[in-house]
Amino acid sequence: MSAAVPDPLVPAVYRIDEVVRELPGGEVFSWTLSPKARGGVEGRPGQFNMLYQLGAGEVPISISAVLEDGRLVHTIRDVGGVTAAMADLVAGDEVGLRGPFGSAWPVEAAEGRDLVLVAGGIGLAPLRPVMHHALTHRERFNRLFLLYGTRQPADILYRGELEAWRGRLDLDVAVTVDRGDSGWHGNVGVVTKLIERGGFDPHNAVAMICGPEVMMRFAVLGLEHRGVTADRMYLSMERNMKCAVGYCGHCQLGGLFICKDGPVFRFDAVEPLFDVREL
């Protein structure tokens, strides 16, 4: 007899093993989660899980890392009632988890090519597993670039990991901020300026983009200007997802449902929708 398929609408119980406050003020935090029962879900780079807190509700959160022992890391921003309640949880508390859901970053499509990751703000979190994969299988990729922009230095995510990546000789990392401060001596300006500097082969590059929609819009324009075609650009869309299985319609974008058709799309599949500002 075949094993029963888990009900995608019923959350499994996970334990919070560790809470890391990623930014000053604590509004962005990461959970390391392990399943209470044997087993647990596996996720691919770009997919998301629905995290549930009893009495508060649930939210879609991208997987920001899969550890060697199989535990999952999710990076969460306190932006509403549910995430505000989640921000009060500590190691040892239990939460519900449904997933994984959605499409993944096509890391195989980048093998043998330059891989360009363009992230804005907390958009680095869904791209982080791509970086982990590429560094684990470094021989499969040509040149590797991470172009990352935030509003100010205090908003830079995963600082320790970024510093470690910048110390590698087989990886190009560039970070910029919209507004510097007295202690900032790096790049100032939008992330598209990093795209203009290039360094990658636009005719043999695959780009993966995640961040605020306005940032992704201009990143796409910058990549197109450099010569990267729409069929070699992928982006992650995040719209008001509620059910994760296409039932509720909250995340509909044109004829697409972000939760089940995305969140990762090849740009030429959503390019007409990007031209409709009202969507």
DSSP string, 27-40: SEEEEEEEESSSS-
User: Are 191 and 219 spatial neighbours (Cβ–Cβ below 8 Å)?
Assistant: yes
Q: Is 76 in the same domain as 136? A: no
Residue 255 confidence (pLDDT): 87
Average pLDDT over residues 246-275: 89
Q: Is 255 in the same domain as 208? A: yes
Average pLDDT over residues 250-259: 88
Residues 200 and 204: their CA atoms lie apart, in Å, by 8
Query: What is the per-residue pLDDT across 63-117, written as a single tens digit (0 to 9) for each?
Result: 999 999 999 999 999 999 999 999 999 999 999 999 999 999 999 999 999 999 9
Higher pLDDT, 40 or 34: 34
State yes or no: pLDDT of 141 exceeds 80: yes
Residues 185 and 70: their CA atoms lie apart, in Å, by 38
Q: What are the CB-based long-range contacts (under 8 Å, 24+) for 273-279?
A: 274/217, 274/220, 279/253, 279/254
Residue 9 confidence (pLDDT): 80
The CATH number that applies at residue 158 is 3.40.50.80
The CA distances from residue 61 to 92, 123, 209, in Å, are 20, 11, 17
Q: Is 121 in the same domain as 227? A: yes
Q: Is 96 in the same domain as 153? A: no
Residue 35 confidence (pLDDT): 94
Question: 239-269 as b/e, with b when 16 or more CB fall inside 10 Å?
Answer: bebbbbebeeeebbbeebbbbbbbbbbbbee
Residues 25 and 70: their CA atoms lie apart, in Å, by 29
% residues pLDDT > 90 (the chain)? 78
> Which among 207, 219, 236, 210 is positioned nearest to 107, based on CA atoms?
207
Query: What is the per-residue pLDDT across 169-212, written as a single tens digit (0 to 9) for each?
Result: 999 999 999 999 988 999 999 999 999 988 999 999 999 999 99
State yes or no: pLDDT of 4 exceeds 70: no
Q: Which residues, at least 6 apart from 232, have a Cβ–Cβ distance to it below 8 Å? A: 109, 205, 206, 207
Q: Do the domain assignments include residue 279?
A: no
The CATH number that applies at residue 85 is 2.40.30.10
Q: Is 82 in the same domain as 117? A: no
Q: Do the domain assignments include residue 252?
A: yes
State yes or no: pLDDT of 123 exceeds 80: yes
Mean pLDDT for all residues in the chain: 92
Average pLDDT over residues 27-37: 95
Q: Which residues, at least 6 apart from 179, have a Cβ–Cβ distance to it below 8 Å? A: 151, 152, 188
Q: Is 157 in the same domain as 260? A: yes
pTM of the full predicted structure?
Answer: 0.94
State yes or no: pLDDT of 17 exceeds 60: yes
Q: Is 133 in the same domain as 247? A: yes
Q: Is 118 in the same domain as 68? A: no
DSSP state of 265: E
Q: Which residues, at least 6 apart from 163, have a Cβ–Cβ distance to it below 8 Å? A: none
Q: Do the domain assignments include residue 173?
A: yes
Query: DSSP E strands: which ranges in the chain?
Result: 12-21, 28-35, 48-53, 57-66, 72-77, 94-101, 114-120, 144-150, 172-177, 187-188, 205-210, 233-236, 252-253, 256-257, 264-266
Residue 6 confidence (pLDDT): 62
For the four alpha carbons of 107, 109, 110 and 112, in that order, the dihedral sign comes to positive
> Which among 252, 243, 249, 193 is positioned nearest to 223, based on CA atoms?
193
For 67, the domain range is: 12-101
198: tokens are 């290039």
Q: Is 114 in the same domain as 89? A: no
Q: Is 87 in the same domain as 144? A: no
State yes or no: pLDDT of 2 exceeds 50: no
Q: Do the domain assignments include residue 1?
A: no
β-sheet bridge partners, residue 39:
none
Of 77, 101, 125, the last residue of a domain is 101
Length of the chain: 279
DSSP state of 82: H
